[in-house]
C-alpha cells in the first residue's frame, strides 16, 4: 500500500470494543444538509414516478387492451437515452448540476399537469399516452447523470456507500407507497375512473413542484474544470478512452444494461397479470407493484445495515441470478398471494444488483469523469431497454404474459451465470481497507 493510502500517524484508531448497533449508522449520510435536500427531492420524484406507473398502466390498458402497447410505452420512455444519455453526461460535467436537475423537474411538473387535464376532460387517446412517454423519458434522462454525480460531491468519501444505500431505500420505499397511494386514489373515484387517473397525475405534478423548491436550496461545491477546458468532442473521446483503459468499469456499465433488456420490462406487463390473470383490479395492481418495492426495500436495508460487504463482485452476480430465477417462478405461478411472495424476492434481488453495481462504479470512477460515465451507463441501458420492452409486449401478445416473463427470466439468469464465470475481474472485486481509505481521502472537509 502506498503512503498516500495510509492513515496519518495521528489519525484516530477504531476501538477494539464492540461496534455500535447497525441501525445507528444506517442513515448517517443524511446528516449532511445538501445531500439531505437532494435526497428529499429525489424521494418526492420517486413517489410521483411510481404513482404514475400504476395510473398509466391502467389507463393504457383500458384505452387499448393490447399488451404490445404496454411494451411500446416502455420503449418510447427509454428511447431518449439512446440519443441524449451521453450528451446529458457531458453537460453534467460542464454545467451546474443543480440547474440541470431543476430544469428536468420543472419539465416533468408541467407535463404531469397537462396530461392530468387531458385525462380529466376525457380527451386523452393512446397516441397522447405514448407521446407523454417520450417527453417524460427525455426529462428523466437529463436528470439522472446530474443527480447521481452530485451524490459523491455532497457527502464525504467515508459516507459515499451509505449515501448510495440511503438513496435506494428512499426509492424503494416510494415504490411501496406510490402504487398503494395511486391505487387508493383511483379506487376512490368509482363513478369516473378517468378522474381518478387525472387526480394521480395532479398529485405527481405537485410532488415535482415541491422537489423544484427543495433542490433550489442545495449549495453544491464548485464543478470540476477539466471538462470545460476541452471541447465537447474531446470530452466524448476522453470518456471512451477512459472506459477502454478500465475494463472493469466498462464491464459494470454493460452489465447494467442486462436487466433493462430482460428484467425490468416485466413491469409493463403487470396490468395483464393483475386485471386478466389474477382479476384483482386497480388496487390489486397497486399491491403487486408495492410488493416488489417491499422486497427491494428490505434488500436495501439489509445491505445498508451490513455496511461494506467485502465480496461485492459475488453479491453482484448472485443478485442478478436471483433476479432471473424469481421471474421464472413468477411466470409459472397461478396464485395471487404466492405471486406477492415471489415479487418480494424479485424486488430484493433487483435492489441487490443495482446497489452493488452503482456502488462499485462510484468507487472506481474518477470524479472528473463521473457524469460522462453515468451517461454512458444510461446509453448501454437505453440501447437495450427499448428492445426489451418491445420483446416483452410482442412475446406477451403471441405466447401470453406468463410465458413472456419466464423467457425473459431464463435469459437473464443464463447471462448472470455465464458473465459471472467469464468476468473474473468483476467477480473478484472486494471492498478493502485500501479502497475505503482512498474514498475517504475525497472528504469535503
Q: What is the pLDDT of residues 115-165, one digit of tens each?
A: 999 999 999 999 999 998 889 888 888 888 888 878 877 887 667 767 777
pLDDT for position 386: 67
380 vs 148, more confident: 148
Asked whether the predicted pLDDT for residue 200 surpasses 80, the reply is yes
Rounded to whole angstroms, what are the CA distances from 220 to 216, 223, 307, 374, 416? 10, 8, 26, 19, 38
As a whole number, mean pLDDT of residues 228-249 equals: 76
Q: Distance between CA atoms of 315 and 92, rounded to whole angstroms?
A: 30
Among the ranges 29-33, 151-155, 189-193, 213-217, which has the highest mean pLDDT value? 213-217
Measuring CA to CA, which residue among 236, 261, 263 is closest to residue 383? 261
pLDDT for position 260: 79
14 vs 156, more confident: 156
Asked whether the predicted pLDDT for residue 234 surpasses 70, the reply is yes
pLDDT for position 209: 94
pLDDT for position 371: 74
pLDDT for position 437: 41
As a whole number, mean pLDDT of residues 295-304 equals: 79
Indicate the pLDDT class of residue 445, thresholds 50, 70 and 90: very low
Asked whether the predicted pLDDT for residue 263 surpasses 70, the reply is yes
pLDDT for position 137: 85
User: Considering the chain, what percentage of its residues have pLDDT values greater than 90?
Assistant: 16
Cα angle 173, 176, 180; round to 5: 140
User: Considering the chain, what percentage of its residues have pLDDT values greater than 70?
Assistant: 84
As a whole number, mean pLDDT of residues 418-440 equals: 67
Asked whether the predicted pLDDT for residue 190 surpasses 70, the reply is no
Q: What is the per-residue DSSP string for 248-265?
A: HHHHHHHHTHHHHHHTGG
H or E element: which one contains 48? helix 33-64
What cell was used for 229? Answer: 477546458
DSSP conformation class of 10: T
Asked whether the predicted pLDDT for residue 2 surpasses 60, the reply is no
Q: Which domains does the chain have, with CATH numbers?
A: 29-220+227-440 (1.20.1250.20)
Asked whether the predicted pLDDT for residue 192 surpasses 80, the reply is no
Asked whether the predicted pLDDT for residue 9 surpasses 50, the reply is no
pLDDT for position 343: 92
Q: Are 340 and 287 in contact, with CB atoms under 8 Å apart?
A: yes
- CA dihedral sign of residues 431, 245, 440, 171: negative
Indicate the pLDDT class of residue 179, thresholds 50, 70 and 90: confident
pLDDT for position 286: 77
Among the ranges 202-216, 233-247, 360-374, 389-403, which has the highest mean pLDDT value? 202-216
Q: What is the pLDDT of residues 318-361, one digit of tens each?
A: 889 999 999 999 989 889 999 899 999 998 898 888 878 877 77
Judged by average pLDDT, the poorest of 66-70, 131-135, 181-185, 398-402 is: 66-70
pLDDT for position 120: 92
Q: Are 291 and 342 in contact, with CB atoms under 8 Å apart?
A: no
Q: Are 272 and 396 in contact, with CB atoms under 8 Å apart?
A: yes
Q: Are 316 and 426 in contact, with CB atoms under 8 Å apart?
A: yes
- Helix, strand or coil, per DSSP, at residue 419: helix
Measuring CA to CA, which residue among 146, 114, 142 is closest to residue 128? 114
What cell was used for 287? Answer: 399491491
Q: Are 166 and 39 in contact, with CB atoms under 8 Å apart?
A: yes
Rounded to whole angstroms, what are the CA distances from 97 to 32, 184, 222, 224? 18, 35, 10, 11
Q: What is the per-residue DSSP string for 97-158?
A: HHHHHHHHHHHHHHHHHHHHHHHHTT---HHHHHHHHHHHHHHHHHHHHHHHHHHHHHS-GG
Q: Distance between CA atoms of 235 and 239, rounded to whole angstroms?
A: 6
Measuring CA to CA, which residue among 263, 385, 278 is closest to residue 327? 263
Measuring CA to CA, which residue among 147, 155, 153 is closest to residue 28? 155
As a whole number, mean pLDDT of residues 77-88 equals: 78
Indicate the pLDDT class of residue 305, thresholds 50, 70 and 90: low
Indicate the pLDDT class of residue 23, thresholds 50, 70 and 90: low
The mean pLDDT of the chain is 79
Q: Which residues, at least 6 apart from 1, have a Cβ–Cβ distance to it below 8 Å?
A: 434
As a whole number, mean pLDDT of residues 166-186 equals: 83
Amino acid at each position: 500500500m502506498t503512503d498516500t493510502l495510509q492513515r496519518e500517524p495521528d489519525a484516530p484508531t477504531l476501538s477494539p470494543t464492540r461496534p455500535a448497533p447497525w441501525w445507528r449508522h444506517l442513515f448517517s449520510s443524511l446528516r449532511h444538509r445538501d445531500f439531505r435536500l437532494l435526497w428529499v427531492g429525489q424521494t418526492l420524484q420517486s413517489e410521483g414516478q411510481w404513482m404514475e406507473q400504476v395510473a398509466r398502466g391502467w389507463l393504457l390498458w383500458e384505452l387499448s387492451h393490447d399488451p404490445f402497447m404496454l411494451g411500446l410505452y416502455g420503449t418510447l420512455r427509454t428511447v431518449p437515452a439512446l440519443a441524449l444519455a451521453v450528451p446529458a453526461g457531458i453537460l453534467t460535467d460542464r454545467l451546474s448540476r443543480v440547474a440541470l436537475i431543476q430544469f428536468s423537474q420543472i419539465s416533468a411538473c408541467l407535463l404531469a399537469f397537462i396530461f392530468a387535464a387531458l385525462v380529466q376532460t376525457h380527451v386523452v387517446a393512446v397516441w397522447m399516452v405514448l407521446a407523454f412517454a417520450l417527453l417524460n423519458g427525455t426529462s428523466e434522462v437529463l436528470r439522472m447523470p446530474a443527480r447521481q454525480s452530485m451524490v459523491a460531491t455532497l457527502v464525504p468519501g467515508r459516507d459515499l456507500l451509505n449515501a448510495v444505500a440511503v438513496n435506494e431505500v428512499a426509492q424503494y420505499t416510494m415504490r411501496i407507497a406510490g402504487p398503494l397511494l395511486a391505487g387508493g386514489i383511483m379506487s376512490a373515484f368509482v363513478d369516473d375512473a378517468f378522474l381518478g387517473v387525472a387526480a394521480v397525475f395532479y398529485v405527481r405534478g405537485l410532488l415535482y413542484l415541491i422537489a423544484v423548491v427543495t433542490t433550489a436550496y442545495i449549495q453544491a461545491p464548485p464543478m470540476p474544470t477539466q471538462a470545460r477546458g476541452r471541447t465537447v468532442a474531446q470530452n466524448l473521446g476522453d470518456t471512451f478512452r477512459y472506459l477502454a483503459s478500465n475494463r472493469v468499469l466498462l464491464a459494470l456499465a454493460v452489465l447494467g444494461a442486462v436487466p433493462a433488456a430482460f428484467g425490468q420490462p416485466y413491469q409493463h406487463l403487470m396490468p395483464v397479470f393483475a386485471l386478466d390473470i389474477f382479476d384483482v383490479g386497480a388496487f390489486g395492481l397497486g399491491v403487486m407493484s408495492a410488493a416488489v418495492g417491499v422486497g427491494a426495500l428490505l434488500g436495501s436495508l439489509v445491505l445498508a445495515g451490513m455496511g461494506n460487504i467485502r465480496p461485492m463482485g459475488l453479491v453482484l452476480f448472485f443478485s442478478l441470478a436471483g433476479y432471473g430465477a424469481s421471474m421464472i417462478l413468477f411466470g409459472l405461478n397461478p396464485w395471487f398471494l404466492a405471486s406477492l411472495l415471489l415479487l418480494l424476492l424479485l424486488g430484493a434481488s433487483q435492489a441487490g444488483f443495482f446497489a452493488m453495481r452503482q456502488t462499485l462504479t462510484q468507487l472506481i470512477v474518477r470524479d472528473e469523469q463521473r457524469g460522462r460515465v453515468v451517461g454512458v451507463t444510461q446509453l448501454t441501458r437505453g440501447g437495450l431497454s427499448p428492445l426489451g420492452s418491445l420483446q416483452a409486449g410482442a412475446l406477451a401478445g403471441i405466447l401470453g404474459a406468463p410465458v413472456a416473463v419466464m423467457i425473459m427470466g431464463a435469459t437473464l439468469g443464463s447471462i448472470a451465470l455465464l458473465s459471472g464465470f467469464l468476468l473474473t475481474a468483476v467477480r473478484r472485486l472486494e471492498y478493502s481497507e485500501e479502497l475505503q481509505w482512498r474514498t475517504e481521502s475525497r472528504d469535503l472537509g
